[in-house]
Amino acid sequence: MELEMAADELKSVLNRLRRAQGQIAGIIRMIEEGRDCEDVITQLAAVSRALDRAGFAIIATGLQHCMADGAQAATGDRDQMRARLEKLFLSLA
Q: Which residue type, as a one-letter code, is found at position 92?
A: L
Give tens-digit pLDDT for 26-60.
999 999 999 999 999 999 999 999 998 888 888 87
Give Cβ neighbours of residue 5 (< 8 Å, ≥ 6 apart): 13, 58, 61
Q: Which residue type, as a one-letter code, is found at position 46?
A: A
- Count other Cβ atoms within 10 Å, centred on residue 78: 16
> For residue 79, what pLDDT band results from cuts at 50, 70 and 90?
confident
CA–CA distance, 1 with 65 (Å, rounded to integer): 10
Pick the residue with more confidence: 17 or 68? 17
Rg of the Cα atoms in the chain: 17
